[in-house]
Structure 1
Amino acid sequence: MARWGEGDPRWIVEQRADATNVNNWHWTERDVSAWSSERLRQLLLGVRVEAPEGACQLTDVSKLDGEASINNRRGKLFFFYEWQLRANWLGTSSGGLKYRGTVDVNNLSDENDQDDLDISVSLCKDQPGTPLLDLMKRTGVKEVRRVLGQYVHELKSEFSQGMTFPTADGQKSSTPAPPQKNQVETSKTQISPKCSYNPPACPKGGLIPTCSFNLKETFQTSADELYRTFINQEFVQVFTRSPASVDGRVGGRFQLLNGNISGEFTQLVPDHKIEMRWHFRSWPGEHHATVSLHLQDRGDETELRMECRGVPEGEEDSTREGWTRFYFQAIKQTFGY
């Protein structure tokens, strides 16, 4: 891990009088949760649908939990957002009768496309049946889906303009990150904002039977960039989307994914190899596996070969899945590698 005043000069920002983010090298983040909350309310309260059976209008937003941020890394913009919301609707039948209900959306996030949003509509418990419920399910859901898509569009276009920075040649870079859906082509599995996976607990004791496995993955980035992604605390916190402690030097310790994973770096060959003692919380006592990551630069991509030795017997499948989902796929999805 680079330190202030050492290593690659692109990391030396604190010593610059103007604190210029040279070539957009650093991870720059803007919290847009407050703006998002206000904009979502405005858009949702504008939802109104009509039909011969009557009209329905969203009257207030009773639940809006979540967060959103825009990040700039080397001229690319990355958007993170996750919201759970509930809106109340009021329906008026053609005969003038009033009905009340709710609309719930639990998966508005950067991991889901507009068409994949799970939107449910219901009547309040004390309300009798009414054709207006079908109107909301048929037309109201489409309108809610449309305005949520409008929020995402505004987040990625209008509101993100201030996240572009001058590069070393004086030009502005505003290259958006590729759409999330296309960033991970090897698998359709998505990661959750706070990653965790829980293999069954191993029996406690002394020596235990172990097993080994190998993995191979290709990343659309350079070897030096991928190397830093694994040993830099800032990068690790971004792709795991949770607090992490990473001391990227030989003998340095790490802890991530809410404390489920911990260990120590035992060998570091910059841009070529990372070796570590690696432990999952449910494993017996202080038992550690040995994980070796070999990086081979192939020009516009990097091949990573992983060797994992000393995994407790019975934990091979869950450990393999954990590395694939919460390291490799998360890195690709987050950074567009």
Structure 2
Amino acid sequence: MAKWGEGDPRWIVEERADATNVNNWHWTERDATNWSSDKLKYLLMGLSVENDVGTCEVTEVSKVEGEASINNRKGKLIFFYEWVLKATWTGKTKSGVKYKGSVEVPNLSDENDMDDLDIVVSLNKDEPDTPLLSLMKTKGAAKVREALGSYVGYLKTEFTQGMILPTANGVATPQSTSQSKAKTDKTQISSGGSTAAPVNTGVKIPTCKLSMRETFQTSPADLYSVFLKQEMVAAFTHASATVDGEKGGRFRLLDGNVCGEFTELVPDEKIVMKWRYNTWPSEHYATITLTFVDRSSQTELKVHCVGVPDSQEELMKEGWKRYYFEGIKQTFGFGARLY
């Protein structure tokens, strides 16, 4: 046995207080299958497109088969994922005629670039021809591709937190690669394809502030109640929800993917809550303040967020716009001009 201070430096545990995986040398693996299955359903459900003929929406995700995992070796992250997906889309013309069809993705894999992904859109056999099929094959397929690209981005940012452990200087600098080393990854969540910023896990994580606003065709009182009544939250998120709409009351939304607590309630004026996505670092919450401003026949909702992980800023904005703003407007008819 080597004396203290001698021998292979990989085994000198004093570099980490918890004496775990010094310098990220050892191989570690994390199974992302269950998380991925939930995330894929979450991203695909409710996708909608429209034109002058009518609208189409993904109303069911009937098949999510496959697996996903992430490996860390010497500070390098290796991603493996392989999925076969099938969903149902429902179309409705301006005149009210309804159609049904399917969307199939036979090869969502780390070995295939997102641009080369096969997305097969079809009508059910007993349905007559409709221009809505063309809408789904173009704009619909593009939205599905975008959602699947977001899944890969989430996999490489949210789910990897904690896999690269801080070293002696408290810095984690992960390198990522796919199972196929020969190809360049084009499936980052940002449109430019840039590599996600390193995440410091085990130390204070970098966070940011962000603000959003939206206008709704309703009163402050009606909009305020939408966020606190369990049945209304479940309706506009199109998923199971548990909401205790009182100060100190807790909530779980989107089938448990989001949770938090109401810390301050001023009826019809303000809601302050601790809010987190379940893949954020353990017990890390953002503070979100909702302010309801009466604009005569409209209500302006101001959303201010503090403590959002840096890597989640754009995803946070997209999620709130889609699942809160658009969901509330479409469900309760509070539509108004977007800013």
TM-score by length of 1: 0.48
Using CA pairs below 8 Å that are at least 6 residues apart, which structure has the higher relative contact order? 1
Larger radius of gyration: 1
